[in-house]
Amino acid sequence: MTTEDIQPIIQSRTQAPAIYRVRIGSFEITVLSDGYLDADPNLFSAGGDVLAQLTDEAFLSRTPFRLGTVAYVVNTGRRLILIDAGCGPLFGPTSGFLLANMRTAGIAPEQISSVLITHMHADHVGGLLTEGQATFPNAEIVIHSAELDYYMSDLALSRATERTRPWILRARRVPEHYPGIRFFDRDGEVSPGISACVLAGHTPGHTGYIIDSDNNQLFVSGDIVYSPVYSFKYLDYDFPFSVDHVAAEQSRRRALDMIAAERWLMTGSHLPFPALGHVRKMGSAYEYVPDEWRFEV
């Protein structure tokens, strides 16, 4: 046999579908990847050089700084509840994969009865609308009243950049397409087994959700943390996406303290897929301990 006789073997250039299931008591949670976003390292609050050092230590590429994005479907056995809706079409070809991954998981958009919102940043609500229509036509929206109030305010628009302004204007159209909006304004149960935990700062109505079934818990933390590279160890480091940095840091500390003390499983929207782990207290800071692959659901 000569080398000319050897047929090339096709290499796959795509990853397996990024869906992952975990059981919390009698609830089945499906973590669904929406793809990824790249952040400009120069926007990092401690400086691009510090971020380069942190990524070197973590054996990650220096630039761009890549953040995955996930959303979740909670199957309670009676209802399918979506938490956040991903980017939709707003961030280009590397994101907006929520619907495709839902299909792979055997979930149709029409089956979603509620969408719980952590906050209204474009990478969390961009997927609520598809070509000007509700992506989840049978769903109610559940959201902190301060969050929608802020997005409807002149203040939000006055703080917008050229890039974020169209996203805010688009988010304002969500209520037209989802007539059933249910508001809350404090901690408490929003659906049987799911409680809101208000963690304001990143945005005025930023909210985590505690899923609790048969004494098992999952803390859905939204954007309290971005990355295991720095968010847990250096609580004051951030990208400039928070509306109130001081309040965001306070909420970060409060949430991580609670998760560590309770030994809850936690998840964050931008943690590495499947974005599940625990939090260990380390002096005055914390450490992220990724969960192991679970063979059984």
Is residue 223 close enough to count as binding Zn ion by CB under 5 A?
yes
Phi and psi angles of residue 156, each rounded to the nearest 5 degrees, phi first: -60, -45
212 binds Zn ion, rule: CB under 5 A: no
Number of residues that bind Zn ion (CB under 5 A): 2
Tokens at residue 54, please? 């942190």
Structural contact between residues 31 and 101, judged by C-beta atoms closer than 8 angstroms? no
How does DSSP classify residue 100? H
Question: Contact 74/211 with Cβ under 8 angstroms?
Answer: yes
Say how many Å lie between the first and final Cα of the chain, rounded: 48
**Which span sits near Zn ion by CB under 5 A: 109-117, 171-179, 217-225, 277-285?**
217-225
Q: Which is nearer to Zn ion, 27 or 219 (CB)?
A: 219
Return the structure tokens found at 213: 């079934």
Return the range that interacts with Zn ion (CB under 5 A); candidates 98-106, 157-165, 215-223, 250-258: 215-223
Q: In angstroms, what is the minimal distance from the CB of 118 to Zn ion?
A: 8
Q: Which is nearer to Zn ion, 123 or 147 (CB)?
A: 123
Query: Quick one: which segment of 105-113, 175-183, 184-192, 220-228 binds Zn ion (CB under 5 A)?
Result: 220-228
Interface characters, 2-41, with Zn ion (x: CB under 5 A) = ----------------------------------------
Nearer to Zn ion, 27 or 83 (CB): 83
Helix (H) or strand (E) holding 169: helix 165-171
With CA atoms as reference, report the closest residue to 264 among 237, 244, 291.
Answer: 291
Stretch that binds Zn ion, among 70-78, 180-188, 200-208, 222-230 (CB under 5 A): 222-230
Torsion angle in degrees (nearest 10) through CA of 86, 266, 41, 166: 30
* Tokens representing residue 81 in the block: 């509840």
**Of residues 120-159, which lie at the interface with Zn ion (CB under 5 A)?**
123
HEC sequence for 53-81 = HHHHHCCCCCCCEEEEEEEEEEECCCCEE
Closest to Zn ion by CB, 123 or 212:
123
Q: Please, what is the minimum distance in Å from the beta carbon of residue 120 to Zn ion?
A: 10
Shortest distance (Å) from residue 261 CB to Zn ion: 25
Residues in 96-125 that interact with Zn ion by CB under 5 A: 123
Residue 271: count of CB within 10 angstroms of its CB: 23
Q: Helix, strand, or coil here: 271?
A: coil
Report the nearest approach of Zn ion to the CB of residue 124 (Å): 6
CB of 50 to Zn ion, least distance (A): 21
Binding residues for Zn ion, per CB under 5 A?
123, 223
